[in-house]
Amino acid sequence: MIEPLPDALIAPVVRAALAEDLGRAGDVTAQATIPADARLSAVFATRKAGVVAGLSCARLAVHELDPAATFEAAVADGEQAQAGTVLARVDANARALLSAERTALNLLGRLSGIATLTREYVGAVQGTRTRIVDTRKTTPGLRALEKYAVRCGGGVNHRFGLDDAILIKDNHVAACGSVGEAVRRAKAFAGHLMKVEVEVDSLEQFDEALAEGPDVIMLDNFGLPDLAEAVRRNAGRVVLEASGGVNLQTVRAIAETGVDVISVGALTHSVSVLDIGLDAA
């Protein structure tokens, strides 16, 4: 069971999206064609199979424009839904519901798409010890929601931002002069609750990093033989993360090298929106 995000975190995103859509005069089409007191019953339903995420976004979008609306979820975030599945039933002021429709579907469809793709990656490595994790390659303003969707799909979150873990990448190494020096500086800076990860692009850099004892070493664009060799040399001392060149065709072989985690930017930056519609009941 996935713990839903608090409404207080989602509501500002929903309000901003509604404000962008409603513009200066509101939904002029609804105003022109629908009586102000008309009501509409409808269902949110999938048109393709996928994993559901973001039902709270749809609920809040409707309630923002009609606080008296009823919104009854028929499934839970994280559930697999077949094509044609009713996700939620809603009864609301017709103008309000149709004005909220696109915002609700944009968020619900995108988050469900992320959850669906994540579930595919998780399924592809099933039976190995490897976990699938996301990255910071998220839509600006939607990071918390998109990382929540990854969890709905069975994935694990990497760091949320620049402030919750130290991740030394190639440009940091260049500025410091060496992998070892960068890790030493990071460990001296970090508090006792902050982890230190360093990215390396060769086995030589890997050995240099391992000698300094970071918490995590990211193996960037390593081939399969070098990944397996890094796992052998590591012997379980630090967490190993594989990154780069990961897709649904390659992820299984990467996992079988024995790495602990595989980070996949595509979970959030190259996802297809799950096709979900709002249909009058």
Residue 255 near residue 122 (C-beta atoms within 8 A): no
Side-chain-side CA neighbours of 217 within 13 Å: the count stands at: 31
Identify whether 102 is a catalytic site residue.
yes
In whole angstroms, give the CA distance from residue 112 to residue 99: 21
Q: Which residues contact 266 (CB under 8 A, 6 or more apart)?
A: 117, 246, 247
Nearest residue to 97 via CA among 34, 177, 155, 48? 34
Q: Of the listed 15, 39, 47, 102, which one is catalytic?
A: 102
Sequence-ordered alpha helix ranges (H) in the chain: 7-22, 28-33, 55-65, 94-124, 143-152, 170-176, 179-189, 203-212, 224-234, 251-255, 266-269
Look-up: residue for tokens 């850099």?
Answer: 205
> Is 220 annotated in the active site?
yes
Catalytic residue among 72, 129, 164, 169: 169
Q: Which of 27, 134, 199, 212 is catalytic?
A: 199
Nearest to 72 by CA among 92, 46, 51: 92
Identify the active-site residue in 64, 220, 241, 260: 220
Catalytic residue among 39, 89, 137, 185: 137
Identify whether 199 is a catalytic site residue. yes
Sequence-separated (6 or more) residues with CB below 8 Å from residue 121: 132, 153, 155, 248, 251, 262, 264, 267
Cβ-Cβ contacts under 8 Å for 119 (sequence gap 6 or more) = 51, 80, 153, 154
Please tell me the distance from the alpha carbon of residue 234 to that of residue 166, in angstroms, as a whole number: 20
Catalytic residues: 102, 137, 169, 199, 220
